Amino acid sequence: MRAWLLFLLAFSAAPSWAAHAYAQFGDVKYPPGFTNFSYVNPQAPKGGEIRLVPPTRPTNFDKFNPFTLKGTAPYGIGSLMIESLLTGNSEEPTTAYGLLAEDVEVAADKRSVTFRINPRARFNDGTPVLAADVVHSFKTLTGKLAAPQFRTIYAEVKDALAIDERTVRFDFASPNPELPLVVGGMAVFSRAWGQGKPFDQITTEVPIGSGPYRIANPRMGRDITYVRDPAYWGAELPVRKGMFNFDRVTFKIYLDDTSRFEGLKAGEYDFMREFTSRNWARQYTGKQFASGELKKQAFENRNPGDFQGYVFNVRNPKFKDIRVRQAIGLAMDFEWLNKQLFYGIYKRVDGYFPNSEFHAEGLPKPDELALLDPLRAQLRPEVFGPAALSPSTAPPGSLRDNLRKARGLLEEAGWTYRDGALRNAKGEAFTIEFLNDQPSLIRVATPFQTALQKLGIQMSFRTVDFSLSQQRMDNFDFEMTTVRLPGSTAPGGELLELYGSKAAATHGSSNIWGIADPAVDALLQKVVGAATRPELGAALRALDRVLSHGYYSVPQYYGDAFLIGYRPRPFVLPPTIPPYYQPDTWAISTWWASPANK
């Protein structure tokens, strides 16, 4: 749900903005009248098909509404069928250009933004996109029948008002420079979708959106195919020229890793992102790869690293003590895993913003201290020391040394080994149920389980399918699990949903940890209120220090390249790879089919 707006030059008398693009920090690459983004081919031919598997965990879908809490919507429905007032690109992290909106104006006091909707904008049923549809979308997404994360995302937006038929204004609770991007990136759908039914009961009705694709055969199930709309209204816009070139985009679902990879070899689909290093090293070999029928390629990028880690549900009393969480983290031996299981291709996650300018390193710098000092009474003294580093077993360290430290921390917290288990003062044994919907993860987590056993902690795996896992996660009904959060070039308001106290108490939110810390809340407000890129960096590094020293997670690992297996023969890739992208959306939006293979 990223937002992307229209920039303007400030009037000397009244500093309001209005033009073709908006940048949160004032940097815009493409001038008025630009024709296309530099990383696309504006002459790319239309036609052909691309077939992919979703990069998310596989499951059947049982609804077409991607905005409600219950059920699972098909992959790609939001990005291919539904558009926003603004759209970004893969080069500029905090700049947005007009899509449904042809113009935007930010008030001089920055407490509101006004959009003028492009008169050519049409939904896929042929009706015009109007201000009333934008207001309806906002009211619906922030209502009680939509998934609760939207209320968090738009918490600082006071209201949306239709000024006239094609002009809409959003009023803000504070002059936050990110908010024009947030509301500009909001999904806009037709008021006619669902024909007045309660929003959480709109399940079988396909969204009425304005995007370049429609669903070919709207039936519930596994696989789904989107067909390019020949009447798509925005095909010649600068932000769409040379993009979305395939006539058909199909996502195929396989419920286990083995059948999914066999499907690639059998020609059932064309593109797959690999997340498992063992598979990458061992499976992507053989005649088909040697002949060039299939290709494996590590695509470089400048994306911030993903945060991946085992996470504690700190709502559970056994994880309340920070010393317990720190001790459990000492039981993970990344160096052994990377050598023995990962073929050395991963790097250890340190902090919550790895491989980015927002990652805290060393001692706090003056700009970070300026934010941390007013919170000193609420923070652990360690926050003001060196940034937290994930435990290491590299020589002269060892897992044995780390487990010895862990045992000491557990004893301080009241847990001692007796009668064959780690027990508290009441004699209760320390057990952990690890909620898992990825059977392949057990191989990776078993060494961690074995190390915990040496501390007297019994960890069991509860492996369930994705839908049950999601239901339990929405209800915070778990003790430990694993999470992967894609890195962001400009983290902002979405962090309220991940780490804010309000989200911790909201079922269905992304704050699965249960982090409810006033100091974290205060730093989150500094993040969303940052007026310059340096201010944003300082606030995020300070936040990184506080979260890392809270030991809410056991950091795992990340890769600095996308591991892709694909069928090269039907496709032509654009000559320029942008710096910031996700591989599946980049392929869908910028690749094209060779005319000889349509």
**Residue 573 resides in a domain:** yes
Q: Is 454 in the same domain as 554?
A: yes
pLDDT at 584: 95
Whether 4 is covered by a domain: the verdict is no
In this model, does residue 8 exceed pLDDT 80? no
pLDDT at 478: 96
Give the other-Cβ count within 10 Å of 344's Cβ.
Answer: 10
Q: Identify whether residues 229 and 335 lie together within a single domain.
A: no
Q: Give 272-304 pLDDT, tens digit per residue.
A: 999 888 899 999 999 999 999 999 999 988 889
Task: Check residue 447 and give its pLDDT.
Answer: 97
User: Residue 456 contacts by C-beta under 8 Å, 6 or more apart in sequence?
Assistant: 417, 420, 421, 422, 423, 429, 430
Examine the domain organization and report whether 553 and 569 are in the same domain.
no
- Find the mean pLDDT for residues 336-356: 92
pLDDT band at 440 (very low <50, low <70, confident <90, very high): confident
Does the pLDDT of residue 193 top 90, yes or no? yes
Mutual angle of helices 399-412 and 322-329, in 10-degree steps: 170
Question: Does residue 81 sit in the same domain as residue 118?
Answer: yes
Tokens of 419: 């009668």
- Report, in this order, helix, strand and coil percent for the chain, each rounded to 5: 30, 20, 50
Kindly state whether residues 503 and 568 are assigned to the same domain: no
Task: Residue 91: name the closest of 473, 577, 435 by CA.
Answer: 577
* Three-state SS at 410: helix
Q: What is the CATH number of the domain that holds 333?
A: 3.10.105.10
- Whether 542 and 573 map to the same domain: the answer is no
pLDDT at 359: 96
pTM above threshold 0.75: yes
**Model confidence over 374-410: pLDDT tens digits?**
999 999 999 999 999 999 999 999 999 999 999 999 9
315 domain-assigned: yes
Q: Which of 114-123, 140-149, 255-264, 534-543 has the lowest mean pLDDT?
A: 255-264
The answer to whether the CB of 480 falls within 8 A of the CB of 325 is: no
Q: Are residues 78 and 195 in the same domain?
A: yes
320 & 453 share domain: yes
Q: Decide if pLDDT at 93 tops 90.
A: no
Both tokens of residue 137? 């979308």
Q: Is the domain of 494 the same as that of 567?
A: no
What's the CA gap between 249 and 80, in Å, rounded?
Answer: 9
Residue 134's alpha-carbon distances to 103, 184, 559, in angstroms, are: 15, 10, 39
List pLDDT tens digits, range 25-79.
Answer: 877 899 998 999 999 999 999 999 999 999 876 678 999 999 999 999 999 999 9
CATH number at residue 584: 3.40.190.10
Q: Could you list the residue range(s) of the whole structural domain that residue 175 is in?
A: 21-27+46-251+563-597
Q: Is 296 within the bounds of a domain?
A: no
Q: Are 317 and 366 in contact (CB under 8 A)?
A: no
d(CA 228, CA 242): 14
CA distance 523 to 541: 10
pLDDT confidence band for 16 (50 / 70 / 90): very low
Q: What domain count does the chain have?
A: 2
Token code pair at residue 336:
């052994």
Confidence of residue 15 (pLDDT cuts 50, 70, 90): very low
The confidence score (pLDDT) of residue 60 equals 84
Kindly state whether residues 521 and 581 are assigned to the same domain: no
- pLDDT value for 388: 95
Please check whether residue 285 lies inside any domain of the structure. no
Q: Are residues 100 and 243 in the same domain?
A: yes
- For residue range 447-495, what is the model confidence (pLDDT) as tens digits? 999 999 999 999 999 999 888 998 999 999 999 999 999 888 889 888 9
Whether residue 10 has pLDDT greater than 60: no
pLDDT computed for residue 592 by the predictor: 97
Q: What is the pLDDT of residue 27?
A: 79
Q: How confident is the model at residue 17 (pLDDT cuts 50, 70, 90)?
A: very low
Residue 264 domain-assigned?
Answer: no
Find the radius of gyration of the CA atoms of the chain.
25
- Which pLDDT does position 567 carry in this prediction? 96
Burial of 472-511, coded b for 16+ CB within 10 Å and e otherwise, reads bbbebebbbbbbeeebbbbbbbbbbbbbbbbbbebebbbb
Residues 510 and 456 in one domain: yes
User: How large a percentage of the chain has pLDDT more than 90?
Assistant: 80
356-367 pLDDT tens trace: 999 999 999 999
Q: Mean pLDDT for the chain? A: 92
Q: Is the pLDDT of residue 232 over 50?
A: yes
pLDDT category of residue 3 using cuts at 50, 70 and 90:
very low
Residue 275 and residue 273: Cα distance in Å, rounded?
Answer: 7
